[in-house]
Amino acid sequence: MAAMTATQRDDAPERTERLLSEFRARFDGDPIVVRAPGRVNLIGEHTDYNDGFVLPIAIARDVRMAVRARDDDRVHLFSLNFQEAAEFSQGEIRFDPNAGWSNYVRGMAQQLMRSGVTLRGMEGVVEGDVPIASGLSSSAAMEIAAGLAFQVTSGARVDPVELARLAQRAENEFMGVHVGIMDQFISRLGEPGQALFIDCRSLEYRTVPLHAGDYRFVVADSRQSRELAGSAYNERRGQCEAAVRALATLAPGIRALRDVDPPALLRYGYALDTVVGRRARHVVHEDSRVLGAISALEVGDLATFGALMNESHESLRFDYEVSSHALDVLVGAARQVQGCLGSRLTGAGFGGCTVSLVHHEAVPDFERQVTHLYREAVAVEPAVYVTEAADGAGVLRDPEGTAAGLVA
């Protein structure tokens, strides 16, 4: 884990200045600024809630909060993105269907207090540039940013892994979305230039140098919003649980699809109906692909890594059935670009983004061709941008010099 005993470098100081200007206009004073990034998952999709393996990177798009402690238990916030204020009492936290973005802050406050952290009231301004509902995990970025904001305003120390777990619980229990741990984990623990291999059962993790050389990861946003809390996501999770129940009657010791390898699935797969069997096949083989992808990165074999990305997308498309016409068009267009080694959807699917591994000299052609083909097929302008493995959450501005040490 990267030590964060000092403030992080600010790669977008103009955004911080807007936060500070709004804060001073509304609250006066000199706030602390924290940030938490979104993420791109390179490979390992829908494995996290199956106790499996994932390989995400943090990205240079984040949620930022300029905050200051209050002397009461009230939380007063203003969102620059929504031009909307929110207020609640820490003594009366409940989900508000009309509160939108501030529910993530409410959920984090509730989980921190349940874990034994004594919170002070807080006032602040929030701004983010992680596209919402795009599959880049704007929700986890908001949760982790809020968690850090409460830490620094309350003088609390929370272990980074514990903060990720609390953020997951906020999403599961407060927001009602049954996500795994990956998004919150990488937002808190990402490191520059490194992917993060996470064992979602044990929460053991290690960094994996990307060794990408002349290649870049390029994200294409379909601009097709998907609702992670929708029925399809929870249906897939239920189908995985059904597969585990059936397989466990034949092979005791199976607690999750993580415990099934491809030979075992061939041996016992007759116990699964057709649809549940396809869901299980994706998860079991996706875990194997993650391990193969790490081995490929460690020796700089980017061709194999790209091939595994392609295999992952086809599995998500046909076995797990979480792709969409828009995502398939983006992936197909990417694969036509000379210099693209692999492309796949990233995130839960049903819309959102793709990620592709592209030679840096081919990036301009990639942007032109993918944009042109997608516009022709879908009649929507995609957003295409190069990303890199960025730093995890931390403190950007610490006027009194006490905040950064709290989140190290």
What is the residue-wise DSSP string for 210-259? ---TTEEEEEEE------TTSHHHHHHHHHHHHHHHHHHTTSTT--SGGG
Measured over the CA atoms of residue 112, residue 168, residue 126 and residue 147, the dihedral's sign is positive
CA gap 111, 106 in Å, rounded: 9
Tell me if 234 sits within 8 A of 322, measured CB to CB.
Answer: no
Tell me if 227 sits within 8 A of 138, measured CB to CB.
Answer: no
Q: How, if at all, do strands 394-397 and 32-43 pair?
A: antiparallel
For 299-324, where are the alpha helices, taking DSSP H only?
Answer: 302-318
Helix (H) or strand (E) holding 280: helix 274-298
In sequence order, the 6+-apart residues with CB closer than 8 A to the CB of 249 are 271
Tell me if 167 sits within 8 A of 143, measured CB to CB.
Answer: yes
Q: Considering 183, 287, 391, 398, which one is annotated as catalytic?
A: 183
> Residue 199 forms beta bridges with which residues?
53
CA gap 80, 19 in Å, rounded: 8
Q: The tokens of 332 are what? A: 């197909």
Q: How big is the CA angle at 322 (ends 321 and 325), to the nearest 5 degrees?
A: 95
Largest CA distance in the chain: 66
- Taking the C-alpha atoms of 174, 116, 191 and 344 in order, what is their torsion angle to the nearest 10 degrees? -20
CA gap 290, 256 in Å, rounded: 17
Residue with tokens 């050389």: 213
Cβ burial of 7 (10 Å; 0-12, 13-18, 19+) is middle
Tell me if 220 sits within 8 A of 382, measured CB to CB.
Answer: yes
Residue 183 among the catalytic residues = yes
Tell me if 61 sits within 8 A of 130, measured CB to CB.
Answer: yes
How many CB atoms neighbour CB 100 within 10 A? 12
Cite the active site residues.
183
